[in-house]
Amino acid sequence: MYTRIASFRCKALKYDEEVLKKVKTENSINIIPRKKHNISRRDISSNALKVLYRLNKSGYEAYLVGGSVRDLLLGKKPKDFDITTNATPEQMRKLFRNCRLVGRRFRLAHVMFGLEVIEVATFRGPHQYTNIANRNRCQCQKNGMLLRDNIFGSIEDDAQRRDLTINSLYYSISDFSVRDYVGGFQDLKTGIIRLIGDPETRYREDPVRMLRVIRFAAKLNMQIHIETAKPIVNLVTLLKNIPPARLFEESLKLLQTGFGLNTYMMMREYQLFQPLFPILAQGFTTQGNSVMERLLIQVFKNTDIRINNQMNVNAAFLFAAMFWYPQLELAQRIVQKNSVSYHDASILAINEILDGVCKTLAIPKRITTLIRDIWHLQLRMSRRHGKYAWKLMEHPKFRAAYDLLVLRANIEKNQQLQHLSCWWTEFQSAVLTQQKNMLSKIGNEPLMYRNSTKLNYCDINYNNRSSST
């Protein structure tokens, strides 16, 4: 009898705590009416509006959420539109014929409209449940990292489960208001990046959140809140638990979306660059002015310029430039220790560097193949006799290799490399008769310009780099 009474009291106490927490959350909600924010339905995807209206008319709650609300409030154009609702994935599949369910860790619905995909998620609930049913739907490792998290809840629960306050804003299609449960609207106005909940716990749940904090701070030019920043340096090793394929995707988001230079600087500040690029981190200097570091800064700067001017960027070129000097240094060491030809040493070095990189970042083979081509062409670009120069220009990756050659010449300030890059610049724009004349004069160039192996690899580059470090 006493056991039943004690059990009843425990359940009642737990219920009271949950009710009190819910009341407190409801009282702290900040509802921004339509006249006090700048979001207009004209700026929202028509397909996203269709999903919102259908969910709403079918009796479900439906909100635009996340980055799209954040960007709309900042006056930016969102790249996609995510929706959250109290409808379960199975209910959404019945409601939308053009819907498919995806995701293992958390079940999502993708509503397909041709090339546009509207992602719809059910409100997430707190994962600290102890009943058997929820344990089967929520799993985590001993270090706290979540493996499965298919627990549904209310919109208040969902707001607490999101990572950053500025990404936890909800646009209601029923009254066109913005709902803020965690202070994100104020953080957005003051330019603060803040994690929801205890930062260390949230980082342990998903270490990639550390990269997301850096990415949004760099992208939006905001300051990281001191409590959000404090645990990062001590938890960077948790990124070793993240699958390399996911880290590769995150690396592209960090470095190839228009704010790569700022991201690189912040990653070095918070010691997050080393877990993703340990091979590069080995060559960092205290002054930050080695040839490799100067090239990294310039390639990130050039990539940002291209993206912001709506020009195409190539991940293969980015990685080829980033890892050029490590493979060059390794090739030189192989030549010195094994007395092999530079061509053979280069092949061995390229294989070893790319294998090492792929242990951390699972770079797809289609990209590593292009990286190899760009690196091999660096050796071949000083061979310009006869028809070889014209054949070289027909190579699919010639332009990328030429861009890397020019980048190296500008960074190293080396006379031979600068001569070669200027020659190729002039040769590409010259008419046929001028090209023939340029090829006929190659034999009259000084020997230092015609020694292809030393020009591209041995004496010039790393002697220059060593003096810089």
Coil vs helix vs strand at 147? strand
Q: How far apart are CA 253 and CA 24, in angstroms?
A: 37
> Which of 306-323 are b and which e, b meaning 16 or more Cβ less than 10 Å from the residue's Cβ?
ebeeeeebbbbbbbbbbb
149 catalytic? Reply is: no
Indicate the residue type of 435: Q
| Vertex 400 angle, CA 399 and 406, to 5° | 90
Strand order in the sheet with 116-122: 30-32, 178-180, 169-172, 62-65, 82-85, 116-122, 108-113, 99-102
Strand duo 223-224 + 178-180: pairing: unpaired
**How far is the CA of 253 from the CAs of 35, 293, 469, in angstroms?**
34, 21, 30
CB 405 within 8 A of CB 420: yes
Q: How far apart are CA 169 and CA 178, in angstroms?
A: 7
Q: Which residues have CB under 8 Å from 186's CB, separation 6+? A: 180
206 catalytic? Reply is: no
CA nearest neighbour of 213 among 199, 204, 205, 299: 199
Catalytic, out of 71, 157, 158, 163: 163
Q: How far apart are CA 280 and CA 293, in angstroms?
A: 9
- DSSP bridge partners of 149: 138
Q: Which residues have CB under 8 Å from 207's CB, separation 6+? A: 145, 235, 238, 239, 241, 242
Q: How far apart are CA 407 and CA 414, in angstroms?
A: 11
175 catalytic? Reply is: no
The residues that are catalytic are 80, 82, 163
